Each structure stands twice: as C-alpha cells, then as structure tokens.
Amino acid sequence: MNNFFIVANRDKDKGNEITNKIKEYLIENGKKCSIGDEIHPNGKGKYHYTDGDLIQDDVDCLIVLGGDGTIIQAVRDFCKKSIPILGVNLGTLGYLAEIDKNTIISALDSLINDNYYIDERMMLSGKVIRDGKVVYEDVALNDIILSRYGTLSVININIYIDSEFIHEYTADGVIVSSPTGSTAYNLSAGGPIVMPDASLFVLTPICPHTINARSIILPENVTIELEVAQNHRNTSKNIGANFDGDSPFQLKIGDKIRICRSNQKAKLIRLSKISFLEAISKKMIN
C-alpha cells in the first residue's frame, strides 16, 4: 500500500495527536497520506465525516480513528469507492477494529509491507416506500430498524418476505440485521450471533408483546418488507426507520421499509488470524 487517507473522530482524537502521528510516520516511510476533514458530524448531511465522492481514486487504504460507530459511518460514506478500511479503536468495546493506539506503528508496518488480508462484509440496502414511491433510501453495515421513539406505546408491524405476508408483530420495533450487526442491537434484543462472513439476514423483534416471538434467519436473496400496520396505538409522530443508528426517518401508517442485500460490500483490513469466536469471547468477558 502506498496511498493512505485518514478519517478521524475529532472527539476521540483531541488535537489530531494520533492523526498527525500516523501521517508523519507514513510520509517518513515514503508513502502518501491525506487527512479528511470532519464535516457534518452527528449524522447531519448526506455523509458523516468526509464526503466520499471527493476522495482520490488512487487511495489504497482508509485509516479510520474512533470507535465502532465511526468505522460504521466511514464504511457508509465510502462504500461506493470500495476502498479497504483499517479501524483504529479509540472507543470502548470495538468489535470492528482489532488495533488500538498502542499498536498503531506495528499495524502501519504491516500495511507498508502488504502483510494483511481483507475481510469482506455483507451490507444492507433499504428503501422507504410511501404510496408506491421511494421517499428515502440508504445503506447499512449493521442493521435497519423500524421502531418507536418518544413514546412507550408498542406498534404493530407487518412482515413480508418476497411480497408474502409472514407475521404481524406487536412490539417496540423490528431489527433486520446483517451478520456484522448480529453482535450489535440484535444481540441486545435476544437475537443470535452470526459469523461475520456469512450471507444472510437476521430478523429480530424488539420487546415483542408475546411469549413465543423468536428471531428468524433468512437467506441473502430474499426481499424483506416491514410495514407500519394500521392500529389505534400507531401514530405518525412516533415511528421511524433507522439505518445504523442514524436519526430516524419519520414513518406514517402504511409506509414500508423494503430491505435487500446491497451491491456494496464493506472491506475491513485484518492483520491477525484470530478467529471471530475467540475475539467475541474476549470482548464478552471484558
């Protein structure tokens, strides 16, 4: 790798201390390195940290400094470029980043010497359909969620698989997760952990008002629709569609979120051969 681009969460890298350290080291070793400005933080605007359309086509690697949230947003900002991403964990848990600020230099040496491999992850594509028209669309690495907010009332959600009605949930919401997202909200909601290199969906209800609701595992080639069902509990002011935890897009009665596998893939750089099960075990224990 010869050309690097750094995306940093400024709240976690105060004064650009780590960002500048990385850039200086790469330049000292004869490599090119640019730094992306943090623009429109907190989910405002069409991108989160850096406009992916402005990055040069010859960039070999994105180095992302922050926590899992920063890495996820960078994946979404740059997914159309298909550039491998190395995550540096400056947060807390850090499922997606295997290195931290204490192992940066050795990691940079591995990249310089092309001693790494790329882990490709499935992504989700979602569209909000209202009166037969697409009114919002986006991609997600972890999950797409239909849920309530701002009120404690449960909502009714119809589930369709390839246009066939499957079930109606009365719940706080429904999560459609990728394998990567299985260790996120899906896990907290009681859903299963899935190997990240799998190609499938996990559909998990959030606090369902029933004793027999379970997660459903679905193949990658289906289309899932979550419909806000007509019910006296449902209002157009407290239901939203969330893509990887972004601010909710407000939904109305009858709206559907149509979800399928995205044509885009996340490319995460790995430097060690530690197994997913071993890594997840360590994270859970810690």
Catalytic residue IDs: 68
Beta bridge partners of 62: 5, 85
Q: Which parts of the chain fold into alpha helices (H)?
A: 17-28, 68-78, 104-112, 185-188, 276-285
- What phi and psi, each to the nearest 5 degrees, are found at residue 72? -60, -45
CB 89 within 8 A of CB 204: no
Residues 6+ apart with CB under 8 A from 45: 39
| CA–CA dist 43, 28 (Å, integer) | 35
The DSSP H or E segment spanning 33 is: strand 32-35
| CA–CA dist 160, 256 (Å, integer) | 10
Start-to-end C-alpha separation, the chain:
33
Angle at the Cα of 178 (from 236 to 168), degrees rounded to 5?
A: 40
3-state secondary structure at position 106 = helix
CB 206 within 8 A of CB 175: yes
204: amino acid identity, one letter:
T
